Amino acid sequence: MRSEIVTTGITFGTALAITISYSANHSVLWAIFHGLLSWIYVIYHVIFH
């Protein structure tokens, strides 16, 4: 059960980071890069934008 929650959180964080990045930058390459960073980019975007 716990591993499913962790996997779901990582997947959701990646999808969220890609969506935020693409809507902000309109660049697939940046979206992929930010998807790799996932939650780090999401937190950064919330704090600084």
Residues 17 and 1: their CA atoms lie apart, in Å, by 24
For the segment 38-49, the average pLDDT, to the nearest whole number, is 91
Question: If you count them, how many residues does the chain have?
Answer: 49
Alpha helix positions (H), the chain: 2-25, 28-37, 39-48
For the segment 16-25, the average pLDDT, to the nearest whole number, is 94
User: Given this model, what pLDDT does residue 4 score?
Assistant: 65
Of 10-14, 21-25, 37-41, 44-48, which gets the smallest average pLDDT? 10-14
10 Å Cβ neighbour count for 43? 13
Q: Is the pLDDT of residue 33 over 80?
A: yes
Q: Is the pLDDT of residue 8 over 90?
A: no
Mean pLDDT of the chain: 87
User: Given this model, what pLDDT does residue 6 score?
Assistant: 63
